[in-house]
Structure 1
Amino acid sequence: MNKVFNFYPGPATLPQPVLETARTELLNYRDSGMSVMEMSHRSKPIENVIASAEANLKELLKIPEGYRVLFLQGGATSQFFMIPFNFLTKDQTANYVLTGSFAEKAYKEALKTGSAHTAASTKEEKFRSIPKLEDISVSDNAAYLHLTSNNTIYGTQWQQFPQLSIPVVADMSSDILSRPFDVSNFDLIYAGAQKNLGPAGVTVVIISEKLINISAQAKLPDMLKYSVHAEKDSMFNTPPTFPVYIVNLVLEWIKENGGLEKMAARNQEKADMVYQVIDQNPDFYQGHAISDRSLMNISFRLPNEDLEKEFVHSAEKVGLVGLKGHRSVGGIRASIYNAMPVEGCAALAAFMLAFRKTH
C-alpha cells in the first residue's frame, strides 16, 4: 500500500491501529452480524459505544464530577452560535479573545445574538502570538469568556489558560487530548473531531452542570439546547454513530499509548524536529508565530511564493501531502496532530533540509 504522511489540517490523519480495527470490524461488529454503521442508535451495542466514549474521555482528561460529555453534530461552527443562544442574555455581554480566524468567526456569531466584547486580540500583529493573561480585559456583566486554545491557521497555542470567576468556554478542536490540562478551569469545552480526535461528523462537548442548568432556562428549539442533549444522553436525535465509534477507538489508542502525558512528550518531540530546521535556517524558513508556538500546526514561509509552490509539489512526490498553507497566510503548514507518527516529522525535517540545500 502506498501510504503517505498526511499533514492536512483536517480531516486529518488517524492512528493506523484505529483504521485497522475499524476495517476488521466494518462488516461484522463483534459478532453482531451487522456493521456498526447499520445498527440502530437505540441498540445495546451503540449505547455501549457512546457510554464507553464518554467514560474514556472522562478518564483521559480527568474530568471531575459535575460535568457531562455530549456527542453532537454540526461541527464546531454550530457551537459558535449555540453558545450565545444558550448563555447570552439581553443584560449581559459575551467576551472573546481573538487569536485567529476561528475565534473571529465565533465572535461574529455572538454579535448576531447580543452584545459581544473583545477582551483581548492579537489581530494587529497578524495573530503571531497569544495575548498575555494580564492583558485580558473582561467587560462588566460578562456572560462568559471564549477562547480558542490552538490556532490551526496561524500556528499559535495557549500555554496557560485564564482562571476567572465567570464561565470560561474553549474551542479545543485542534489540540484536545494533545496534552494534560485542568478541565475544572472551564465550564464548556468543544471540539470538532476531525483534527485530533476522530473523523468528521461529530463534535465533542464537555459541559458543566452549572451551564446545563442555565441552558434549561433558554427559550430555544430543543435541538439547540445543551440541557436536552444532556438529558437524552446525546441521543435526542440519531447521533453520528460511526464517527463516535471511531472517536472511541482513538481514545482507547491514546490510553494504550500512555495517555496524555505520553502524547504531550511525543508531540513536543515531533514539533522540535520541524522547529529546529526553521530556527537554524532563518534565511530560508520563517515561522509565522513569534511566540506561543503550536505543537499541532506549524506555519512558515519560504523566500518567495514560487519556492513555496515547488516545495509543496516536491514534497508530494516523496509522500508528504497536505503542506500547502492556508490562503490567508500562505506559505507552508504542517499539521502534526497526535496521530502523526514521529517518522512523519523526521521525514519532513529531512526534506526541509534537503530542499534548503538544493535551493
Structure 2
Amino acid sequence: MEKRAYNFNAGPAALPLEVLQQAREELVNYRGIGMSLMEVSHRSKEYEQVNDETQQLFRELMGIPEGYHVLLLQGGASTQFSMIPMNLLPPGKTAGYVMTGSWAEKAYKEAKLIGEAQIVASSEADNFAKIPSLKEISIHPDLAYLHITSNETIGGIQFQQFPDTGNVPLVADMSSDILSRPIDVSSFALIYAGAQKNLGPSGVTVVIVRNELVQDSPKHLPTMFRYSTHAANQSLYNTPPVYSVYMMNLVLKWVRDQGGAIEMERRNREKTKLIYDMIDQSGGFYRGVAHPEDRSQMNVTFRLNDEELEKQFVKESSAQGFVGLKGHRSVGGLRASTYNAVPYDSCKALAEFMGDFQKRNG
C-alpha cells in the first residue's frame, strides 16, 4: 500500500485503516450473498441485522440506560437543528441555547425560526475562545430544553463538564466528540451527532433520545420530521443510508475492540498533548486559540504571528503529506482535527514538523 496521508481533516475525517480494509474486502460480495450491501433491500435480513446491531453497539459503548431510543437518521446534524425545536419546543415555551461558536449559533438560528429561543450564556465577548462557566448558564425551570454544543470544531473548545439542568431536558450536539470520552447519557434528554467526524462517513446521523420525548412528537408535523415515526419503525420508515450505517457499524466495532470510550479518551489526550506541548513550548512562535482550560481534544486550533507564515506552513506541510491543517475559512489560522481514528503517529509527525518549521522560520 502506498503511504497514507496524515489526515487532519475536520470532517469528513479520518477513518480507521482496519475499517477501510474490511469494507474493501466486503464491498463486492457481502458475507457470501453475491452482492454488495449497497445493493440489498433495506428490508432484507442482512441489512436489518446491521441496523439492529448498530443501535445495540451504541447502547453498549455509551452505556445507554433503559428508556432511550437510538435513531439512525438522515440530513446531518443540521437537520436536527430544526427537528429538535419542531419536536421539543411547544407554543408558549422557550428553549435555551449556550452560545459557544459557529455551530451553536446555527442551531440557535434554526430554533428561532420554529419558536421562542434565547441565549442563556455566551462566550462571544471572548471570541468564542472559551466555554462559558457553568455558573454563567442561566437555567430557568420553565425552559423547554437547554441546548449545548459539546465541542466546537472551528474554535477548538470543548465542554469539560456538563451543566446540571435539573428537570429541564439537556440537549447536546456531540457531532465532533461523541465516543471520544465516557459520558453519563442519563444526564441528557437528547444527544445527536453527524457521523462524519468520529463515527464513520457522512450520510447518517445518530439521535439518542428519551422515550417520553419521542411519545410527544406533535401530530401536525410532517411524518418524516417526527421522532415518533422513526422510533416506531426502528429507523426503517424509509430507505436508510444503508452503506453509511454499515460503515458506522464497523467503526463502532473498532472502538469496542480498541477498548471503548475510556481507551479513546486516553489515546486522544496522549496524542493531542504532543501538539499542545509544541504550541506551549514554542516561546510564542505558535499561539493556541482556545483558553487552555477549555481546549478541545478533537480540534487543536493555533496561529502564527504572521498570516503569510501561516500560508507557508500550510504549503510546506501539504508537501510533506499533511492534509486539512488550514483553519476554517471563517476564522483563518491553523487547525489539526485529531478525532478517534487519527493515529498517534500522525500527531507525532505533526509535532515534529512544527518543531522543524519553527527552527527554520523562528
Give the aligned residue type for 1:202: V
Q: How far 1:162 sits from its partner (Å)?
A: 1.1
> How many aligned residue pairs are there?
358
The counterpart of 1:208, out of the listed 202, 207, 210, is 210
Aligned to 1:27: 28
Give identity over the alignment, percent: 56
Match of 2:54? Answer: 53
Alignment partner, residue 345 of structure 1? 347
Q: Deviations over 1:290-343 (max 9, x none)?
A: 131000000100011110011011001111111000122211000000000000
Residue 2 of structure 1 and its aligned partner are, at CA, apart by: 3.3
| Corresponding residue for residue 269 of structure 2 | 268
Structure 1 segment 56-205 matched on structure 2, within 5 A: 56-139=57-140, 141-164=142-165, 165-205=167-207
What is the match of residue 357 of structure 2? 355
> Which shows bigger deviation, 278-287 or 241-250?
278-287
How far has the Cα of 1:277 moved from its partner? Answer: 0.3
Once the two structures are superposed, residues 139-161 of structure 1 have per-residue CA deviations (whole angstroms, 9 ceiling, x without a partner) of: 46310000000000000000001
Structure 1 runs of 4+ with >2 Å offset: 138-141
CA contact (8 A) 2:304 2:310 kept: yes
Cα offsets for 1:3-37 (capped at 9, x unmatched):
10110100000000000000000000000100010
SS of the residue 1:205 aligns to: strand
| Distance in 2 separating the partners of 1:298 and 1:75 | 23
Aligned partner of 2:284 in structure 1 is 283
SS in 1 for 2:14: coil
Q: Which residue of 2 aligns with 1:12?
A: 13
Q: Distance in 2 between matches of 1:35 and 1:140?
A: 51
Equivalent AA in structure 2 for residue 311 of structure 1: F
Could you tell me whether the CA contact under 8 Å between 2:141 and 2:168 is conserved in 1? Answer: no
In the alignment, the residues of structure 2 paired with residue 282 and residue 253 of structure 1 have an alpha-carbon distance, to the nearest angstrom, of: 39
Q: How far, CA to CA, are the matches of 2:57 and 2:213 in structure 1?
A: 22
- Note the alpha carbon deviations across 1:37-59, whole angstroms, 9 max, x for none: 00100000100001110111100
Please give the alpha-carbon distance, in whole angstroms, between the structure 2 residues aligned to 1:320 and 1:287: 19
Query: TM-score, structure 2 length as denominator?
Result: 0.98
Flag structure 1 segments of 5+ consecutive residues without an equivalent: none
Alpha-carbon distance, 1:175 to partner? 0.2
Alignment partners' CA distance in 1, 2:60 and 2:354: 38
What 5-or-longer segments of structure 2 have no aligned partner?
none
Give CA deviations for 1:40-83 in whole Å, capped at 9, x if unaligned. Answer: 00000100001110111100000000001111000000000000
Shift of 1:138: 2.3
The answer to whether the 8 Å contact 2:122/2:132 transfers is yes
* SS of structure 2 residue aligned to 1:142: coil
Select which of 272, 285, 304 maps to 1:302.
304
